Structure 1
Amino acid sequence: MTVVMVEEIDPSSADAGVPAHFGDPVKEQRLLETAVGLVDRSNRDVLAVPGDERASWLHTLTTQHLSGISADQGSELLVLSPHGHVEQHAFVTDDGTTAWLDTEPGAGAGLLKYLEMMRFFTRVEPRDATSEIAVLSLVGPAAAELLPELAEPRIGAVPGPKFAAGSVPPEATAIYSVRPFEGGLARRVPLGVDLLVPRAAKTSVIEKLGVPRAGLSAYEAIRVAARVPRLGHETDHKTLPAEADFMAAAVHLDKGCYRGQETVARVHHLGRPPRRLVLLHLDGIATDHPPAQGTPVELDGRAVGFVGTGVRHHELGMIALAVLKRNVADDARLTVGESTAAIDV
């Protein structure tokens, strides 16, 4: 089997350390869209938060309602700046004694530093567990068939701008079913099933599953087509949760105070965040290379946003997730580098 690592394609990529593809990225994309493939995402940082007060503590520090999370549940959370900008995003998975937080490669140190600063007298012991736990993902419509005991993800609707206090259920806005799996945990998510397994057992778990392999480039193409945002790609230093579509899965709008909560509430009640996440179709005439992260999106020669992730999709062609100014019209004729781009509405 041909294995091409991410760093062989892009030595500067933050995603180094996992396979980009196994010789046929297009075939791997079709596998993830029509059946199920296994994607090695063990480059993700993982933190462990054991302690009796872990749920109530994370509840007070983050955007998510976590005080009642149980041992068979997972969710998503954000850590915001005092001004409401997205600083951290993580999935949280609880096993009854420990909350496991998995986040983007390289983001764990910043998240751990914040958690350690906020411990005070709380009975929690956050630590870096990246060397202990590896993340693998079963992606595709048949992923759930491999672990039928996992319930479908439940993500609540974002309430309207003028919702009544007390109308949002006092629970996590995204609830992901969790079960023990091969010495670790399995978590049902919108794109399939994430497996948090002991890093020392990663190879044996992959062999035991016997699921066809797919690389991270195929995973990213599926993610972009599904409009799923990623910290550090579809976010910059001033991103608000509503601008990058984090609201439904990661933000509870009626849970009380946390850092940045006033900005989140104000933007939501006004109903018009300054920017929005969109999917762009690029013509691919002048170049067949997807645009790099951070490439400006221009309208009449003026920058109106930036590319988060650009990919070549096996059916849609060259596409990209981008963050644009709110006032850019849906039918605007945009340019991204040498390509003409149109918003998918």
Structure 2
Amino acid sequence: MTRQSPLRKLHQQAEASFRLHPPDAPEGDGEGVEVVDSYGDAEAEYASLHAGCILMDRPDRGVIRVAGADRHDFLNRMLTQELKGFAPFQVRRSFWLNRKGRIEADLRLIALENAILFDLDTVCVDRTLRSLDGYIITEDVQLADESDHSHRLSVHGPASLALLQSVGEHVAGAPLSDLVDGAAALVRIAGCDVIVDRHDCSGSPGVELLMPAEHAAAVYQQLLEQGGAVNGNHNGVRPAGWSAFDVARLEASRPQCLFDFGHDDLPHETGVLKDRVSFTKGCFLGQEIVARMQSLGRPKKTMVRLRFEGVSPSELPHRGDRITPASSPDDDPIGSITTAAPSPQHGGAVLCFAQLRTDHATPGAAVLLRRGELRREGVVLDQPG
């Protein structure tokens, strides 16, 4: 059954439109997660992200709790990130790989006093639990799926931290006035204890909020009500969906798991290698493959941003559209589009994430978009990360 948000009725009342997550989830077969696409004006939602802040519902995120006395040592031997010195109310990003060095899950780790929380795509929860549990032998480590009992919201924009300070009572962790990227805190909002952490992934300050699912509606409404009072009607908080957020993350050059890379990919192919993988720590699962790729200096394919000028709405690139070299349009494809959207910061030009063969991924290289009879020339803008 398609997973739905506990806030769905509130979104329907606000005349939201929905779409399935992840992008490749087949329609009509009950797979995937229903997420908000927009509330009818994606351009206004995008503008609020840069003028005030936006509030996003995140039913696409799952939670795994890792407890037990050996949790730090065990995870440090399994995951790609260094976890020595990982203290309560710190946040680190990591991959969980399989033996072949391919991505099982893209994780955000939040350290608490008595546990480590995994924030990951809900589609990846079951496979992560099964695969990670298989390596627990004698260690004092317990894994628990808390996705059905937890819920996540996101706030993005220059007013996001001010909103959080106005609505939340600090309980523990980093001060809200100095919540830097990679830091977390416990705050009380609408009578509910909420774990918040800084996560800048849209080109503006961002804050993630994790709470018990039964309190999600109260927290959501409190943020909306207080947001207008704090920031004023012009640049207060506004509910927003993925159409606006996709534009912002494209402009900020932030590829996302299951959108732009996935389970068939190696860390070097993602564009987010640097803050997920430590090359100075001890062994981890899949390390031999990752180290070999690092020593070779270049993977077979890599993540890039492409730019297309003068694209009409009917010509907007689609996920899966093929890319060839502009100089050899009849050659075999060198890659494909993963995410695309017109960019206000680039004068309306269309930005795309794409995975291209590395020998064609040089910034400035001319490429050709192919879809049926459509041909559109563009350029490699840069490589994320």
Residue 208 of structure 2 corresponds to 194
Please give the alpha-carbon distance, in whole angstroms, between the structure 1 residues aligned to 2:150 and 2:262: 28
Structure 1, unpaired ranges of 5+ = 154-175
Residue 306 of structure 1 corresponds to 336
Aligned residue among 320, 325, 343 for 2:357: 325
| 1:176-195, Cα deviation, whole Å (9 max, x unpaired) | 10101332310111231111
| 1:243-289, Cα deviation, whole Å (9 max, x unpaired) | 21222211111111111112222222332232221111124536546
Aligned residue among 181, 194, 218 for 1:184: 194
Please give the alpha-carbon distance, in whole angstroms, between the structure 1 residues aligned to 2:311 and 2:198: 39
Relative to 1, partners in 2 of residues 1:46 and 1:237: Cα closer, same or farther, differing over 3 Å? closer
Q: Which amino acid aligns with 1:189?
A: H
Aligned residue among 46, 64, 67 for 2:81: 64
- Summarize the alignment of residues 36-185 of structure 1 with structure 2, pairs less than 5 Å apart: 36-145=53-162, 146-147=164-165, 148-153=176-181, 176-182=182-188, 183-185=193-195
CA contact (8 A) 2:105 2:263 kept: no
CA contact (8 A) 2:32 2:123 kept: no
Relative to 1, partners in 2 of residues 1:112 and 1:291: Cα closer, same or farther, differing over 3 Å? farther
Number of residue pairs the alignment of both structures matches: 322
Instruction: Name whichever of 329-338 and 38-47 sits farther off.
Output: 329-338
Structure 2, unpaired ranges of 5+ = 1-13, 166-175, 225-236
Q: Which amino acid aligns with 1:279?
A: R
Q: Which amino acid aligns with 1:332?
A: A
Q: Which amino acid aligns with 2:265?
A: T
State the TM-score, normalizing by the size of structure 1: 0.86
CA contact (8 A) 1:85 1:241 kept: yes
Please give the alpha-carbon distance, in whole angstroms, between the structure 2 residues aligned to 1:255 and 1:327: 30
Q: Using the TM superposition, give the Cα deviation of residue 208 of structure 1 relative to its aligned residue in structure 2, in angstroms.
A: 1.2
CA contact (8 A) 2:102 2:266 kept: yes
Residue 37 of structure 2 corresponds to 20
Percent identity between the aligned chains?
24
CA contact (8 A) 1:181 1:195 kept: no
Relative to 1, partners in 2 of residues 1:286 and 1:270: Cα closer, same or farther, differing over 3 Å? same
Instruction: Name whichever of 32-41 and 313-322 sits farther off.
Output: 313-322
State the TM-score, normalizing by the size of structure 2: 0.77
Between 1 and 2, higher relative CO (CA 8 Å, sep ≥ 6) is seen in 1
1:342 aligns with 2:355: no
CA contact (8 A) 2:179 2:197 kept: no
| 1:170-214, Cα deviation, whole Å (9 max, x unpaired) | xxxxxx101013323101112311111111111100111123211
Q: Which amino acid aligns with 2:88?
A: A
Please give the alpha-carbon distance, in whole angstroms, between the structure 1 residues aligned to 2:315 and 2:95: 32
Residue 230 of structure 1 corresponds to 256
Relative to 1, partners in 2 of residues 1:15 and 1:257: Cα closer, same or farther, differing over 3 Å? same
CA contact (8 A) 1:282 1:341 kept: yes
RMSD: 2.3
SS class of match (1:88): strand
Relative to 1, partners in 2 of residues 1:226 and 1:180: Cα closer, same or farther, differing over 3 Å? same
Residue 157 of structure 1 corresponds to none
Please give the alpha-carbon distance, in whole angstroms, between the structure 2 residues aligned to 1:231 and 1:240: 12
CA contact (8 A) 1:30 1:314 kept: no
Relative to 1, partners in 2 of residues 1:150 and 1:296: Cα closer, same or farther, differing over 3 Å? farther
Relative to 1, partners in 2 of residues 1:15 and 1:289: Cα closer, same or farther, differing over 3 Å? farther
Q: Which amino acid aligns with 1:234?
A: D
Q: Using the TM superposition, give the Cα deviation of residue 238 of structure 1 relative to its aligned residue in structure 2, in angstroms.
A: 4.1
